[in-house]
Each structure stands twice: as structure tokens, then as C-alpha cells.
Chain A
Amino acid sequence: MRKVYSRPRLLKRVPFHYCPGCGHSIIHRVMTELIDEMNLQDKVIGIPPPGCSVFAYHYFDVDMAESAHGRGAAVATGIKRAFPEAIVFTYQGDGDLAAIGTAETIHAANRGERITAIFINNAVYGMTGGQMAPTTLSDQVTTTTPYGRDANLEGYPIRMSEIVALLRGAVYIERTAVNSPANIRKTKKAIRKAFQAQIDDLGFSLVEILSPCPTNWRMTPLESWQWIDKEMTKEFPLGVIKDITGKTDAD
């Protein structure tokens, strides 16, 4: 019998600490598969953030280092400038990339740093227990918006990918989701294109991934997948937001 699927070689044999239904484990699997397929294991350096995915380095079998909250893009910049042969990615949540790290993200993108940001948007602060994120939807209830996010008081969900797309140093930006097999495949393809933009020395690339957080959304895993389709994608439409890599889609 031909083996058609197995555990990715670069995903360490360690049980995930993530909650059932969490998107991180799917994204970790997709990314480790991809790093292997693109034969980048020797060159990749990953920067996970403080947050639920702080332990990403226990799962990815590649070089990784912790970063202060929000500083991923600056840390990645330092690595890439010191060692340009590396393929450097940050793995950041919405609070990390779009609140406390807004300045670092925007300026790294604007300089066209040859790094890739994997931006996990789950509309909530996960590890700290479900507080409002910059991407929390209007009227969404979180522990710090117990009456629902009120635009008059708390502003609007921030579309960070669209903001970054305005910067001339950013060359590839796509928003995907991991709430269906088809979307998971698209996510993998998007990350491949983002890494390729870095390999081709073109500029900053970013993949925003809408990712379920059933625990903090107070939903079942299935409900959280449906909520991404019904609610999140209305605010954060899926698709390629910017592509000036000049490459045609191979698939």
C-alpha cells in the first residue's frame, strides 16, 4: 500500500498543549509540512510570540527563539540583516502583531524586510483568557468587552493586512482561514507564496490566518469553524490582498 499521509517530518513527536479545536495545531502541521517540502529546514529561523503559541518551538523542528510581546518583526529584522541567507518567519497573534507590535510590523513591512509574518487572527487574546483583541468584531463579547465591543468606546476591528498592503515594501499579503480542508489547503499555498517572495528577495510578506479559538469563543469546535464563515469573514474577507511578486500562480 502506498502511504499518502503521515505526520510531518519536522513536527516534533510532542503532544500539542493546544485546546481541542484550536487552529494553531493545524497551522503548525501545515507549516512544518511546507518547510520540509520546500527544503528549507537548514535555513529557517522562526520567532514565535508570547501567547498560546509561545511553545511553538517545542513542535517545529527548526531553529527558533522567543521574542518580547509585539517585537517579532524587529527581532526577525535583526536576524535577517545579520544573516541574510536565513529564511525568517514570525508567528504572531492579533494582539502581538496588530496592537502592541503595530509599529514594528508596519516599519518592517515598509522597509521591505525580507521576512514573512504568519499572522494568526482569532479575534481574541487567547493565552491571557479571552480579552478584547484589536481584531475583535463589533458587538463581540470578550472578558474586557462584557457588553460587546462598542465602536464608540473600543473602536473597530482593525484590518491590519489591508493597512500593511498600503506599504510599498510589502509584496505579498493574503488572508486565509483554517476552518475547512479547502481553506487549509489555501493557507498552505499562501504560506508557500509568502516564503517564495522571501526566497526571491522581493520584500515583506504576510499571511493572515483566521483561526478558531473555541475555548475563548465559548463554542464547540464545529461552531467555531462555522463562526469564522458566518461572522469573521464578513469583517475579514478571505483572498489575496496584495501580490506584486510578479509571479503567476503555478497551481
Chain B
Amino acid sequence: MTKVLMNGNSTIGEAAIRAGCQCYFGYPITPQNELTEYMATHLSRRKGCSFIQAESEIAAINMVYGASLAGARAMTSSSSPGISLKQEGISYLAACELPAVIVNMSRGGPGLGSISASQSDYFQATRGGGHGDYRTIVLAPSSGQELADLTHQAFDLADKYLIPVIVLGDAMLGQMMEPVEFKHEAPDELPIRSNALRGAKGRPSRIIKTFTSKPAELEEINWSLSRRYQLIKKEETACETFLVEDARLIVVAFGIAARIAKGAIKNARSNGLRVGMLRPITLWPFPSEKVKDSAKRTKHFLVFEMNMGQMIEDVQLALEGKGEAYFYGRPGGVIPTPSEVLRVVSRLYHQKGLKSGK
């Protein structure tokens, strides 16, 4: 396969089309507009496909809900403030067990914030975000290639577990041009889910809903969702490890921050510091076992995020007190450099006396 040079937002669009995405509904917001525009150009004219520039993010996610009801692979995308508006719809998708892919090319917050890259939506993405007791699978790509691969996987996971899947990128990943190889061809036939609403032809009529006047009924729905979440935790947790075998200090970072950290770690290694990295690819389910397991090798973990410290809570929970989690972060859309992270890594390494191997 040949590689093509594309910006991250367009990469997601192309990957979605190749995954059989039939419907895309979106509302413009920087820094993800290239994705909406890509779908307007390349999806809207495809046979059986539909593109709408919706009147709001709320309308867009509810159109996705509708398309998913009808059995189509559907996607919407936005950036942080717009994702806040979609939370109501995501809760309904989760409740009604409807697959969908929601892309968040996140930017600095809170409020209108900035349009620069940030990771401050970690809590919102991994804790559900909307009302009620639910989870979404959250995939965190860290390169153009992963944007393509994980977008495709997002559609498969959504269908497999009947769950909304969030692809959590950021402004930098969306804007960056990188060589990408698309491993799938767009399907000839659009995949249509079998348990969809398509009219009661040759079968009894079907209702898709959660609302009930009987709390015990809703409790059962919650139990059923919870059992599926346990299964997802068991089956779908993904994490990249980098030079952790002999590491005395392990950096934990996701997405673009992991990319920055990798540069710092390579330099640290050439300075003789035994530093490695754990990169959660699924933020939910969080690779807790991997983190806990690593605590057998070292007690020192540096959590590096482009926010004020969100994923660190999951790292601490995973460590169960068996290791120490330190934090370095830059919020507000500031993008730290590898040399800045290297300084933090080196300082910590020496402060903790890791040089002497204690």
C-alpha cells in the first residue's frame, strides 16, 4: 500500500468512509473543520450516504442517534465546547445501546478557551460526560497513522458492543500533516445493523427506548450495561509500552503528549537515564493492570498531560499505593517541547536518586 500525506482531520474522514460510515452530521468548530469539510466533499456524493451541516452540535448528535436507530454507521465530530453540547445525545446513545463514533479534536478550555491543542477533556471523555451511569469506549490516537487505524476500529468496536465510541484527539493531531497508509478499501455494500428500526416488515414492531415508570426495569438495564462494560474492560484494553523493561522511571502519557514524551525519553536514554513510557491507547477502559504490573519494576511514575492533572487519578487508582505518581502538565493549549519534558524527567530522576539504581 502507498502512503499519502494528509492532515489528521482529513485522515479521520477518509478512514471513516473506508470503515463504511454512511452518515456524517457535524457543525463547524475549530480545530476540526477539515473533517467536516472532507465529509462534505467525499462522503456526501457517495451512494446511499448522507452529509448534513447541522444547525447545532445538539442537532448533529441527535441525527447520529437517528441514523444509528436505522442501523447505519454514523459519525459526528467536534471540539471541546461542541462536545459538551453533545453529551445529552451521547447519554441517549449509551442508554439505548446504539453504536456511534464521536470524534473530539480537543482544544484548550474551560469555556470558549483557545483553539490550541489540549487534553483537558480527559475527565469528560472517560467518566461518561452526560447524565446517568454509563461508559463510552475512548480511543486516544497519537499519530496520523493511528488516527486512521483507530477511527476504523472505533466503528467496529461500536458495532461489536453497541456503544458510542469516542476518538479523543486534539488540535495538533488534527492539523498536522503526516504520511498515512489506509489499510482498508471502502466496502461495496454499506453495513446495516440487523436489530435496527427499518419498519415492521415481516416481523413484530420494535421499540427502542429506556424510559420506564418502573425503577426495577431501569435497574436491570443498568446491570446489563455494566456487564458489557466489564467485558469491554477484559477484552479491549490497549496500551503501548516503550522501553519499560529496565526503566527506573516510567512516563505515563497519552495522545500527542506521549509523542512529545517519546522524544524526551529517547534523549534521556542517550544521557544514560533508564526511562520508559506507558501510553494508554484506550483511555476507557484504562490499562490499569499494565500500570499496576509496571510497579513491580519501578515505583516511580511521571504522569505527563496537557492539562492540570486528570489521567493521574486513574494512574494512582491503578497503582493502589504500590508506586508514586508525579505530575507535569501544561494546560490552556500550551504545547510543551520534548526538551522541556526532558528537563522534568532528568530533574525527577536525580531528585529520586534513580541514577544510583536505588
Interface residues of A, Cβ cutoff 8 Å to B: 41-45, 47, 50, 54, 57-58, 60-68, 71, 74-83, 85-87, 103-104, 106-107, 111
Contacts and interface: CB of A to CB of B under 8 A. Distances in A.
- The binding surface of chain A is classed by DSSP as mixed
Given A42-B199, A61-B205, A79-B197, A71 B59 contact: yes
B62 interface: yes
A105 to B, nearest CB: 10
A73 to B, nearest CB: 8
Interface of B: 22-23, 25, 50, 52, 54-56, 58-60, 62-72, 74, 88-89, 92, 96, 197-202, 205-211
A136 to B, nearest CB: 25
Contact of A45 (B50, B52, B70, B74): B70
Given A65-B96, A75-B65, A83 B72 contact: yes
Contacts of A50: 211
A57 to B, nearest CB: 4
Contact of B70 (A41, A83, A103): A83
A104 B62 contact: yes
Given A68-B62, A71-B89, A86-B199, A79 B206 contact: no
A61 B23 CA distance: 28
Contact of A74 (B66, B74, B201): B66
B59 A104 contact: yes
Contact of A103 (B55, B68, B88): B55
25 contacts: A41-B205, A42-B202, A45-B70, A45-B198, A64-B205, A65-B197, A65-B207, A67-B65, A68-B62, A68-B65, A71-B59, A74-B65, A75-B65, A77-B59, A77-B66, A78-B25, A78-B67, A78-B68, A78-B69, A80-B66, A81-B50, A81-B52, A82-B71, A86-B197, A103-B56
Given A45-B197, A66-B96, A81-B67, A107 B209 contact: no
A44 B25 CA distance: 23
Nearest to B98: A65
A60 B207 CA distance: 10
A74 B76 CA distance: 13
A83 B211 contact: no
Nearest to A106: B55
A64 B56 CA distance: 24
Q: Name, among B52, B88, B197, the residue most crowded by chain A CB atoms within 10 Å (CB to CB).
A: B197
Contacts of B64: 78
Contact of A81 (B23, B62, B71, B199): B23
Nearest to A88: B66
Contacts of A78: 23, 25, 62-70, 74
B205 A66 contact: no
Contact of A107 (B23, B59, B70, B96): B59
A50 B209 CA distance: 11
Given A63-B206, A74-B66, A83 B59 contact: no
Contact of B71 (A83, A85, A106, A107): A83
A128 to B, nearest CB: 14
B142 to A, nearest CB: 31
Nearest to B88: A68
A66 B55 contact: no
Contacts of A104: 55, 58-59, 62
A62 B92 CA distance: 21
B132 to A, nearest CB: 12
B96 A68 contact: no
Contacts of A54: 211
Contacts of A81: 23, 50, 52, 63, 66-67
B26 to A, nearest CB: 13
B209 A65 contact: yes
A58 B70 CA distance: 20
Contacts of A60: 205
Contacts of B72: 82-83
Contacts of A86: 70, 197-199
B211 to A, nearest CB: 6
B337 to A, nearest CB: 43
The list of the 10 closest CB pairs from A to B, nearest first, reads A78-B66, A74-B62, A78-B63, A81-B50, A82-B72, A66-B209, A107-B55, A82-B67, A42-B201, A82-B70
Q: Name, among B52, B71, B96, the residue most crowded by chain A CB atoms within 10 Å (CB to CB).
A: B52
Contacts of A76: 66
Given A50-B211, A63-B199, A86-B198, A75 B205 contact: no
B200 A41 contact: yes
Q: Name, among A57, A58, A66, A111, the residue most crowded by chain B CB atoms within 10 Å (CB to CB).
A: A66
Nearest to A43: B199
A206 to B, nearest CB: 17
B199 A71 contact: no
B197 A68 contact: no
Q: Name, among A41, A65, A111, the residue most crowded by chain B CB atoms within 10 Å (CB to CB).
A: A65
A78 B71 CA distance: 11
A104 B74 CA distance: 19
Nearest to B69: A65
A41 B207 CA distance: 14
A58 B211 CA distance: 12
B96 A74 contact: no
